[in-house]
């Protein structure tokens, strides 16, 4: 099969966003044999891999080894990477439409959801997404400051990101030194005064969003005890009935882990992590300088919602938790892209199975697609993006079959290359990235660490002899 109206041309595809979803789209396109494909992948950062580099916790190196798969995809002769090329700044939708038959947006979810409670913006209250990007050396966040002089901290939310953040706050400097955490974060966290960390769940243990290996790991920290108030580890009647009905072994195991934590006796470890359940923050409050000093919590009970899910509702019982540091970890949120239809309420690109839709007609916009978190919202693990990308690629190939592709006036490989060189002569190729990767790993090896990251774009360009 050849691209409609361009019989001698391979299908030219632009992928915007070099995270897992983007690489899985490329992989699925290369796997099929019916349509010859050329892929150009763009990222606004010089470095590829999205949240695998800037989101996955530095002490979870095994998860990061998935980049070996992406490396293999990038070695295909019909793949090119253009790092440090930003959609909406260096390249616009019309530019891409002029050079590609299909364009796929895989930009992920780059910001955080709000709690919408008073005091959320006090100094000392931060989005967990920023903290994560900071300790992972994301160039946009390297200058952030987090007040680690506080002894008591709370992480709001009980998803895997909340667990990552709490774990990083509880790790000893020795533990952190073995990771690829950003150097400045290693230094700041080594001086951290944080002793008590609370994880705040608005529902019960059976509804906690974190997964079992992640919560189990909390019990294995060198420098922190884990605790759960025994009464909060118990299941309420609705959760108990739900669990018995579903027979869900993973949830039963999760509850057991938490109930075991509730039996823990304090040791002489320096830090303590306490998991709280069935409480919601209703207000953050501070001192006269506007610095956070505490959090007001309301107790919840669960009820069966219309969809059958157990939801929290506040009862009239309040408590105050004195904390000087709050990290809000209630989910990531997608950011709209210039000229691309967006569903503000869900924080995703308007789409059906990956085909981007026109808001006026709800009909697919020819040649425009999406995959990953910006398509479906911030859920699932890295591997979830594989079937998600497959769904998008299936639509793309079906549309090729129908001749429903863009008709770029300049589909030649050299044309876009010239345009990019013109717009940003400092763009980063995959070869450039491999060089940066090697330099990071070499520096890491000298220190017994997986890598020492470049955390500023200037440093990266200098290392490549560009400035």
Q: Which is nearer to ligand NAP, 279 or 460 (CB)?
A: 279
From residue 333 to residue 372, what is the string marking binding to ligand NAP with x (rule CB under 6 A)?
Answer: ----------------------------------------
Rounded to a whole number of angstroms, the minimum distance from the CB of residue 363 to ligand NAP is 31
Closer of 15 and 132 to ligand NAP (Cβ): 132
**What is the rounded distance in angstroms from the CA atom of residue 219 to the CA atom of residue 228?**
12
Q: Decide if 310 contacts 239 (C-beta within 8 A).
A: yes
Minimum Å distance from CB 243 to ligand NAP?
A: 16
Residue 331 within binding range of ligand NAP, rule CB under 6 A: yes
Q: Is 255 in the site for ligand NAP (CB under 6 A)?
A: no
CA distance linking residue 388 with residue 168, whole number of Å = 30
Task: Kindly state the smallest distance separating residue 100's Cβ from ligand NAP, in Å.
Answer: 30
Phi, psi at 32, each rounded to 5°: -75, 155
> Which member of 161, 327, 340, 452 binds ligand NAP (CB under 6 A)?
161
**Residue 280 binding ligand NAP, by CB under 6 A:** yes
Listed residue (414, 413, 462, 467) closest to 435, CA to CA: 462
> Which neighbouring-strand residues pair with 14?
40, 103
Q: Where are the alpha helices (DSSP H) in 148-224?
A: 160-170, 173-177, 183-190, 212-217
277 contacts ligand NAP (rule: CB under 6 A): no
Compare residues 83 and 378 and give the one whose CB is closer to ligand NAP: 378
Stretch that binds ligand NAP, among 138-146, 174-182, 197-205, 316-324 (CB under 6 A): 197-205
Of 138-146, 150-158, 345-353, 402-410, which part binds ligand NAP (CB under 6 A)?
Answer: 150-158
Closest CB to ligand NAP among residues 203, 375: 203
Q: Which of 3, 199, 209, 420 binds ligand NAP (CB under 6 A)?
A: 209
Please, what is the minimum distance in Å from the beta carbon of residue 340 to ligand NAP?
22
Closest to ligand NAP by CB, 203 vs 272, is 203
Query: Contact with ligand NAP (CB under 6 A): which of 157, 364, 367, 372?
Result: 157
115 makes contact with ligand NAP (CB under 6 A): yes
Helix spans in 228-368 (H): 230-233, 237-246, 249-262
Check residue 279 for interaction with ligand NAP (CB under 6 A).
no
Work out which of 64, 152, 171, 203 binds ligand NAP, going by CB under 6 A: 203
- Judged on CB neighbours under 10 Å (0-12, 13-18, 19+), 143 is exposed
Q: Is 374 in the site for ligand NAP (CB under 6 A)?
A: no
Packing angle between helix 237-246 and helix 249-262, nearest 10 degrees? 140
Q: Please classify residue 151 by burial: count the beta carbons closer than 10 Å to its beta carbon, then call 0-12 exposed, 13-18 middle and 19+ buried.
A: middle
Give kind and range of the element (H or E) at residue 47: none
Check binding of 330 to ligand NAP (CB under 6 A).
yes
Residues 385-424 that bind ligand NAP (CB under 6 A): none
Burial of 79 (0-12, 13-18, 19+ CB in 10 A): buried
Q: Please tell me the count of residues contacting ligand NAP according to CB under 6 A.
A: 24
Q: Contact between 162 and ligand NAP (CB under 6 A)?
A: yes
Which residue minimizes CB distance to ligand NAP?
159
Alpha-carbon gap, residue 446 to 440, rounded angstroms: 10
Site for ligand NAP in 212-251 (CB under 6 A): 214
Which CB contacts under 8 angstroms, 24+ apart, belong to 239-246?
239/204, 239/205, 239/206, 239/207, 239/302, 239/310, 242/206, 242/310, 243/206
Min dist CB 113 to ligand NAP, Å, is: 7
Binding ligand NAP (rule: CB under 6 A), the pick from 190, 317, 379, 447 is 379
Q: Does 202 bind ligand NAP (CB under 6 A)?
A: yes
How far apart (Å, rounded) are the C-alpha atoms in residues 148 and 246?
A: 42
Q: Work out whether 53 is an interface residue with ligand NAP (CB under 6 A).
A: no
Q: Is 378 in the site for ligand NAP (CB under 6 A)?
A: yes
Rounded-to-integer distance, Cα 123 and Cα 325, Å: 9
Four-residue CA torsion sign, 71, 75, 79, 82: positive
Query: Shortest approach of ligand NAP to residue 164 CB, angstroms?
Result: 5
Euclidean distance between CA atoms 133 and 310, whole angstroms: 32
Is 50 near ligand NAP (CB under 6 A)? Answer: no
C-alpha dihedral, 451 to 57 to 167 to 134, nearest 10°? 80
User: CA-based diameter of the chain, in Å?
Assistant: 73
Binding site for ligand NAP (CB under 6 A): 115, 156-162, 164, 201-203, 207, 209, 214, 280, 329-332, 378-381
């Amino acid at each position: 099969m050849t691209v409609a109206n361009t019989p001698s041309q391979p299908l030219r595809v632009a992928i915007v966003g070099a995270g897992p979803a983007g690489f899985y789209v490329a992989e699925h396109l290369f796997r099929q044999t019916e349509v010859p494909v050329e892929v150009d992948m763009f990222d606004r950062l010089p470095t590829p891999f999205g949240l695998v580099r800037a989101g996955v916790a530095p002490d979870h190196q095994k998860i990061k080894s998935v980049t070996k798969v992406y490396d293999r995809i990038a070695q295909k002769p019909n793949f090119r990477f253009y790092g440090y090329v930003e959609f909406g700044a260096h390249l616009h939708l019309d530019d891409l439409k002029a050079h590609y038959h299909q364009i796929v947006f895989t930009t992920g979810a780059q910001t955080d959801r709000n709690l919408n409670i008073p005091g959320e913006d006090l100094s000392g209250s931060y989005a967990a997404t920023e903290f994560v990007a900071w300790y992972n050396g994301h160039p946009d966040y390297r200058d952030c400051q987090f007040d680690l002089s506080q002894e008591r901290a709370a992480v709001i939310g009980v998803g895997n990101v909340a667990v990552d953040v709490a774990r990083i706050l509880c790790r000893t400097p020795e533990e952190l030194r073995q990771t690829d955490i950003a150097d400045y974060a290693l230094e700041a966290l080594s001086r951290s005064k944080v002793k008590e960390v609370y994880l705040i769940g608005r529902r019960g243990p059976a509804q906690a969003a974190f997964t079992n290996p992640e919560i189990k790991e909390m019990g294995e920290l060198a420098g922190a005890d884990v605790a759960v108030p025994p009464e909060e580890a118990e299941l309420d009647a609705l959760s108990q009935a739900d669990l018995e009905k579903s027979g869900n072994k993973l949830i039963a195991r999760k509850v057991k882990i938490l109930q075991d934590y509730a039996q823990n006796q304090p040791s002489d470890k320096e830090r303590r992590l306490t998991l709280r359940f069935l409480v919601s923050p209703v207000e953050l409050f501070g001192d006269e300088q506007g610095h956070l000093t505490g959090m007001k919590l309301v107790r919840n009970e669960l009820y069966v919602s219309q969809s059958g899910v157990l939801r929290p509702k506040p009862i009239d019982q309040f408590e105050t938790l004195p904390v000087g540091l709050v990290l809000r970890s209630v989910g990531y949120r997608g950011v709209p892209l210039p000229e691309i239809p967006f569903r503000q309420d869900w924080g995703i690109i308007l789409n059906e199975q990956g085909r981007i839709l026109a808001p006026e007609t709800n009909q697919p916009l020819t040649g425009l697609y999406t995959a990953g978190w910006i398509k479906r919202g911030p859920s699932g693990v890295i591997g979830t993006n594989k079937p998600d990308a497959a769904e998008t690629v299936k639509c793309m190939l079906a549309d090729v079959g129908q001749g429903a592709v863009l008709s770029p006036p300049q589909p030649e490989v050299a044309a876009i290359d010239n345009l990019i060189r013109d717009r940003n002569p400092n763009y980063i190729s995959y070869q450039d990235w491999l060089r940066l990767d090697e330099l990071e790993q070499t520096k890491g090896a000298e220190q017994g660490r997986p890598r020492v990251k470049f955390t500023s774009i200037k440093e990266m360009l200098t290392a490549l002899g560009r400035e």
